Structure 1
Amino acid sequence: MTNYGEVLHELRVGKQMTLAKTAGDIVSASFLARFEKGETNISLEHFTRILQRLNVTPLRIFCASQQFFCASV
């Protein structure tokens, strides 16, 4: 099973965003850290808002999680 939290972590770190700044008013930084470690699940609404904050499309995170090459995402 794909761990979207790990993929999100890699994208977040690559964009030099802190847990606190990424989580902001969406979820707590500790919750986001637990999600990235695969210790908890996140609602689709919260996940989508975090992706928007990181300027990452759902397609991009899906491609990264499946190790697909997706041009221009």
Structure 2
Amino acid sequence: MNVVVDLNRCQGYAQCAFLAPEVFTMHGEEALLYRPVVPDGQQERVLRAAAACPVQAILVGEEAGTGER
């Protein structure tokens, strides 16, 4: 599974970092870092994080334009 975050849309609410800390981390107060390839066992957490994003900045799988692998 792949993930893409629209960093122009991201407002740094950090809901994703709270729900999937192995994939999303905050660097400083506003900069988000993330792993574009979701590690095994983290798919459900990433889906929850995408759903919880207040600005819907997280795209997962085919929505990310990368397709499922």
Query: Same-fold call, TM > 0.5?
Result: no
Instruction: Please indicate the TM-score interval, normalised by the length of the shorter structure.
Output: 0.3 to 0.5
Query: Larger helix proportion, structure 1 or 2?
Result: 1
Normalization by structure 1: what TM-score? 0.43
Which structure is higher in RCO with an 8 Å CA cutoff and minimum separation 6?
2
TM score, norm. by length of structure 2: 0.45
More strand by share: 2
